[in-house]
Amino acid sequence: MLAKHSFISGLGRLTSHSPSSSSSSVLRRQQFLVRTLCGSQISRAMSSTSEADAESVLRTVTPSLDPKRHKGQAGKIAVIGGCREYTGAPYFAAISALKIGADLSHVFCTKDAAPVIKSYSPELIVHPVLEESYSISQLSEEDQRKVQDKVLGEVDKWMERFDCLVIGPGLGRDPFLLECVSKVMILAKKFNVPFVIDGDGLFLVTNSIDLVHSYPLAVLTPNVNEYKRLVQKVLNCEVDEQNAEAQLCSLAKQIGGVTILRKGKSDLISNGETVKSVSIYGSPRRCGGQGDILSGGVAVFLSWAHQLKSDPESPSENPAILGCIAASGLLRKAASLAFTKHKRSTLTSDIIECLGESLEDICPAS
């Protein structure tokens, strides 16, 4: 796969310097050469791609409701995101985690976002600790560093308690805020806390790949545009839909074996070694916020899959892969159910309300 990537990258550089009048013929020659010289590698990647049995994974990963368990054992999730402009996304991610079955769900957001997110639900634990540039612009550089250290200290107090973080929903692109969150990611890696990167977290990571490179507990959940930027940045080429599985595998490998869930008509999942697809259920309604449900779901199922590792009879599959398959399958089933009820008027909140019913249908509580 690396040889294939290097070859394609080289061709990409040639393309960028080709005269526009001959670009079509150059592209045709490139495609012919790639098919000829790299066809065997692509075939191997394609042969390792399979449709995941999402319902079976859901049954395996979802823990039973045991009265002997105490609060927190079914998952403690934290969402890092939420600013003046965006308060819905962190709420959707955090409340979805609870609806799926996590015991506790936290949101670390800016002071402006906190009252709004708190007003959505008393179920969430909201920490108004993040800062944006406008609130510290009058401070000296030294005082700004002190503010950053204070933010990091507030998150640090909680970090060891969390089973997984969701970084990015409603984060925005404020430079000071992104710098703070990058340090939160470094802190999470220090404690070996898994994290799911979505939304503006992917904007941060795409511009600072080292934040996730070779961290096996990182999951990226890009949509079509976010994936395009990742491919351009890491592989130095354009998205190749004809060889989507091979390219995804190459991308995950180039980032050091992180897990990537590429959202689409069929969700594709890879950690650089294998590629799984999830295409069951689904809905034609593409209302905003479904990606936030997915990121919260991945966090919960990933944490449950990690708990299974202590069981000698647990599946050998990578917990991050299992978490992605389970979350994708459940979201698709909930979206399908919501659409049967609401049709064109289906909203993200309707899908969230169908999460419990959809999971119960696959994994009955009793």
Query: Would you say 295 and 170 are in contact if contact means Cβ atoms under 8 Å apart?
Result: no
Residue 49: which residues within 8 A CB-CB, separation 6 or more?
245, 274, 275, 276, 277
User: For residues 250 and 271, what is the distance between their CA atoms, to the nearest angstrom?
Assistant: 9
- Binding residues for (6S)-NADPHX, as ranges, are 170, 223-229, 292
Closest C-alpha among 253, 296, 300 to residue 103: 300
The strand pair at 267-270 and 259-262 is best described as: antiparallel
User: For residues 362 and 359, what is the distance between their CA atoms, to the nearest angstrom?
Assistant: 5
- Binding residues for ATP, as ranges, are 263-267, 282-291
- Binding residues, as ranges, are 170, 223-229, 263-267, 282-292
DSSP conformational letter for 104: E
Q: For 104-258, where are the E strands, in sequence order?
A: 104-110, 125-130, 164-167, 195-197, 218-220
Structure tokens at 239: 């998205």
